[in-house]
Amino acid sequence: MSQDSANFPPVDPVRTGMRGCCPRCGQGKLFDGVLAVRPRCAACGLDYSFADSGDGPAVFVILIVGFIIIGSVLWLEVNYSPPIWLHILLFAPLTIALSLVALRWCKGILIAVQYRHNAREGRISSD
């Protein structure tokens, strides 16, 4: 990531990431489709090649969505004891939908925070 010479007001990384907007200007789109990151911002021209959220969003989504779904499954089982096919019918689509939405939000937030703090790969200096 190169140094920015343009002056852009700071944007809130959480709000910007959840909306899927550019972490520098807050106007352009970050995603091309559901989860694919665009090559650059159409509004300010920021190159998104620095944006590598890695496995961080997936870990957060597994933990958060897993907690919500398993808690709901256990609550439903203890209180109503429905057949297993009803669990599958209810919770399979809910798990997929929650995972996709949460993964997009988490990925956008982590990329925005990465840009805000100028994070990059670790390097060993030759001093």
pLDDT tens sequence across 56-66:
999 999 999 99
Instruction: Determine if the pTM surpasses 0.85.
Output: no
Rounded mean pLDDT, 97-113: 95
CA distances to 10, 11, 34, 59, 63 from 66, in Å: 34, 31, 21, 10, 5
Residue 50: what pLDDT?
87
110, part of any domain: yes
Residue 118: what pLDDT?
87
24, part of any domain: yes
5, part of any domain: no
Backbone CA torsion sign across 72, 110, 121, 28: positive
Q: Domain range for residue 101?
A: 13-116
The answer to whether 108 and 48 have CB atoms below 8 angstroms apart is no
pLDDT level of residue 52 (50, 70, 90 thresholds)? confident
**pLDDT > 60? residue 91:** yes
101, part of any domain: yes
pLDDT level of residue 53 (50, 70, 90 thresholds)? confident
125, part of any domain: no
Report how many domains make up the chain.
1
Residue 54: what pLDDT?
86
39, part of any domain: yes
81, part of any domain: yes
The pair of structure tokens assigned to 85 is 């096919």
Residue 17: what pLDDT?
94
